[in-house]
Amino acid sequence: MAHHHIVEIRGLVKRFPMGGNHFTALKGIDLDIEIGEFTGLVGPSGSGKTTLLNIIGGLDAPSEGTLTVLDMALAEKNHKELAALRRHGIGFIFQTFNLLPVYSAYENVELPLLLLGLPADKRKAAVMHALERVGLTDKAQSRPAQLSGGESQRVAIARAIVKEPRLVLADEPTANLDAANSHNVMGILARLNRELSTSFIFATHDEKVMGYLTRVLHLVDGTIQREELVEHPQFLEKV
Amino acid sequence: MIQFFVKGVIRDRSRSLFSFIVVTLGVFLAVIFRGFMAGVFDDMMRQSAIMQTGHVKVATRAYAEEADLMPNDLAILEVDSLITALEQHYPALFWTPRITFAGLLDVPDAQGETRKQGAMMGVAIDFFSESTRQIELWDLNNKLTSGNLPRTPEEVLLGNEFARRLEVEIGDVVTFIGGTMYGGFASYNFTVAGTVSLGVGAFDRNILMVDLEGARQALDMENAASFVMGFYQDMFYDDPGSVILSARFNDAHSAEENDVFGPVMHALRDQQNLGAMVDLSGQVLWLIIGIFMFAVTVVLWNLGLMNGLRRYGEIGVRLAMGETKTHVFGTMLIESLIIGMAGTVVGTAMGLLLVLYLQEVGLDYSALMENYAIPVSTVMRGKITPDLYVIGVVPGIFATLIGTMLAGRGIYKRELSQLFKELET
């Protein structure tokens, strides 16, 4: 059944040097994520959510344990191979949107496709389709400074899903949004999850986000203390 | 992809404009400084060559020893045959006799009594022969401030300042008082045909220019000259060529080594310590390039660091999207290359324009040199040399790339996760 797992983690430990000692951020994580899951890593600040997300995304390396993401054993891979994995298979959504300010919404969404070397006509079709999914075709030529917070995060979502990745990692995607925009953004992500079978892993402590998740992993002090499978998430039914 | 990043460079003025200005200014300064120095050196060499040394100079051994005293009793005799021989053996140069002499210039009043008097320096050049290039070399048509060029051997030009000080008008008769070649008393009347401003303060204050024939009559120097000057036909001083030529000439005349009236040839570099200046002009070029390259590199390094900090977000996002560190670093270098090239082109164009202005028009600072007797040009000149077109490439493009490489190294070496922590704060 390994081929159903988009993420497989065994005995994952992450230590950070601190003075002469080490601080252990993750203490032996075992975790499988299946294709199409809508999963959340939930916990207080310092519980290890972002560290785990970074390791899954190949942005950081584990100190111990094994990790397979999209059928690739990350511990054995170099920087270039990890970059290729992210380029082809993983999308990122950040708390602070991180749109490139000098480029239009269209150009921000186009960048991942430029990195994949797609021809201009295919890029244009894919970008417009992604902007359509987030309801922002009319803002294609707007610069980030001309967009509201909610619109900016929707552009960031379009940028994350434009290459139709198998996995999207979202770190506190609603932290800078009001309630209405938070629901709007989560609604879009839930629809994408349903339509594209894209797997989503969230790092969050936002109750509103939790109301959409079908699987909630509670992290405390670097360990998964509790796992919750939600059959009927509070808000998901309304999407 | 490149097009995408070029758009970023053009739109993000805080990224590109200041860097562009720094590069442009650095290149501009390097070009004008080099052009100015080339002009100054060239002007000094040219002035020295025309007025005093030639590209090479032939004099008697005794005259060469005492040249500062202008000892015409040690002058070269049988000049015509010497020049014929020189033209035959060294056709790459043209040869011309020169007489320099000193004395008093007396300006009489209507009764023939002295009205004004002043120490003078006489320079006798070939005004009238068919092949003469002296008027062109001294640029006398342009430097004539009043009257006209001499039309007879008895007519003279006076330095502008000299004529003003002596209160001489065009057409006035002035009397040279000095010594002949044979040590006798010389008193000879000349008519002032015109006044000149040579742009060399020391000359303008006391020079009298006369045709060779007039000087020969006044000084009793039939077919003689203080020395014979040789100039390359294209007027560009060939330093190594002149040294070789002088050595050849002196070897050919080594049999006359003990004859104090035997001829000896000196290249420009062997006279008045000009060799050090010739060497210096080459070294100064590299010194200038080095200084500007260092300064521009340091400024751009700092700019790159500031830009790098400001662009953490962008760099983090691009890495998250799957761009490699090498690619991010590469695009930063391409951006700086674009800025460096643009700044180099604009800075070079601006610098060349200013140097061209200095070359064609010049800056006259004679008012500042009124009280100095140094025979240097009082018009600041630039010179367009072939290296000016490319000199800016070093500080403009290489320094930009080095600055960016140094700045980018810090980001390149940073751990990805660390970059993301900084990204979120």
Q: Is the pLDDT of residue A235 over 50?
A: yes
Here the tokens at position A166 are 């198998």
Going by the DSSP 8-state scheme, the letter that residue A44 receives in this structure is -
Q: Is the domain of B88 the same as that of B213?
A: yes
| Per-residue pLDDT tens listing for chain B (425 residues) | 788 888 888 888 877 888 899 889 988 988 888 888 888 777 778 888 998 899 999 999 999 988 888 899 999 999 999 999 999 999 999 999 999 999 999 999 988 899 999 999 999 999 999 989 999 999 899 889 999 999 999 999 999 999 999 999 999 999 999 999 999 999 999 999 999 998 877 788 999 999 999 999 999 999 999 999 999 988 878 888 999 999 999 999 887 777 889 999 999 988 877 778 778 777 877 787 788 778 877 887 787 777 767 777 788 888 889 998 888 888 888 888 888 999 999 999 999 999 999 888 888 776 766 665 555 566 777 888 888 898 888 778 888 888 888 877 766 666 665 655 555 54
**pLDDT tens by residue, A133-160:** 999 999 999 999 999 999 999 999 999 9
Mutation for B interface: A79, A97, A100, A113, most B CBs within 10 A: A100
How far off is chain B from A195, nearest CA to CA, in Å?
Answer: 22
Residue B175 lies in a domain: yes
With CA atoms as reference, the chain A residue closest to B321 would be A87
A96 — contact with chain B (CB < 8 Å)?
yes
Q: Record the tokens describing residue B406, joined without a space.
A: 């140094």
Residue B32 inside a domain? The answer is yes
Res B421: pLDDT: 59
Nearest CA in chain B to A90: B321
Domain count, chain B: 2
Do B72 and B201 fall into the same domain? yes
With CB atoms and an 8 Å threshold, state whether A80 touches B415: no
Domain end: B236, B253, B285, which one?
A: B236
Q: Are A83 and B423 an interchain contact pair (Cβ–Cβ within 8 Å)? A: no
CA of A73, closest CA in chain B: separation in Å? Answer: 17
Same domain for B31 and B66, yes or no, is no
Cβ neighbours of A80 in B, within 8 Å: 324, 326
A71-127 per-position pLDDT tens digit: 999 988 898 999 999 999 999 998 888 899 999 999 999 999 999 999 999 999 999
Residues B83 and B215 both lie in one domain:
yes
Q: What is the ipTM of this complex?
A: 0.88
**CATH class of the domain at A36-61+77-238:** alpha beta
At A237, is the pLDDT very low, low, confident or very high (cuts 50, 70, 90)? confident
| Chain B residues inside the 8 Å CB shell of A119 | none
Considering the domain architecture, whether residues B313 and B413 belong to the same structural domain is answered as yes
Hey, are the CB atoms on A60 and B319 less than 8 Å from each other? no
Per the CB < 8 Å rule, is B322 touching A112? yes
Chain B within 8 Å of A90 (Cβ-Cβ)? yes
Shared domain for B31 and B97, answered yes or no, is no
Q: Do A112 and B8 touch (CB under 8 A)?
A: no
Nearest to A100 among B314, B326, B416 (CB): B314
Bridge partners of B91? none
Nearest chain B residue to A161 by CA distance is B321
Question: A111, B318: Cβ pair inside 8 Å?
Answer: yes
Q: CB of B397 within 8 A of CB of B344? A: yes
- Determine the structural domain holding residue B38 and report its residue range: 2-47+276-424
Question: Which pLDDT belongs to residue A3?
Answer: 53
- Name which of A203, A210, A205 is nearest A234 in CA terms: A210
Question: Which amino acid, residue A232?
Answer: H
Q: Which residue has the tokens 């800075």?
A: B347
| The pair of three-digit structure tokens given for residue B288, joined into one six-digit string | 């200038």
pLDDT at B425: 44
- Residue in A closest to B412 by C-alpha: A79
Q: How far is A86 from chain B (nearest CA, A)?
A: 5
Residue B194 counted as domain residue: yes
Determine the residue among A50, A98, A171 to mutate to test chain B binding: the one whose Cβ has the most chain B Cβ atoms within 10 Å.
A98
State whether B8 and A84 contact (CB < 8 Å). no
Q: Do A83 and B316 touch (CB under 8 A)?
A: no
pLDDT at B179: 94
Residues B10 and B113 occupy one common structural domain: no
The 3-class secondary structure across chain B, one letter per residue, is CHHHHHHHHHHCHHHHHHHHHHHHHHHHHHHHHHHHHHHHHHHHHHHHHHHHHCCEEEEEHHHHHCHHHCCHHHCECCHHHHHHHHHHHCCCEEEEEEEEEEEEEEEECCCCCEEEEEEEEEEEECCCCCCCCHHHHHCHHHHEEEECCCCCCCEEEEEHHHHHHHCCCCCCEEEEEEECCCCCEEEEEEEEEEEECCCEHHHHCCEEEEEHHHHHHHHCCCCCECEEEEEECCCCCCHHHHHHHHHHHHHHCHHHCCCCCCEEEEEHHHCCCHHHHHHHHHHHHHHHHHHHHHHHHHHHHHHHHHHHHHCHHHHHHHHHCCCCHHHHHHHHHHHHHHHHHHHHHHHHHHHHHHHHHHHHCCEECHHHHCCCCCCCECEECCCCCCCHHHHCHHHHHHHHHHHHHHHHHHHHHCCHHHHHHHHHC
- For A179-222, what is each residue's pLDDT tens digit? 998 998 899 999 989 988 899 999 998 889 999 999 999 999 99
Same domain for B164 and B280: no
Task: Report chain A's terminal Cα–Cα distance, integer Å.
Answer: 30
- Chain A residue with CA closest to B14: the answer is A102
For residue B321, give the nearest of A51, A103, A115 by CB distance. A115
Residue B41 lies in a domain: yes
Same domain, B37 and B88: no
For residue A13, the model assigns a pLDDT of 96
Residue B251 within a domain: no
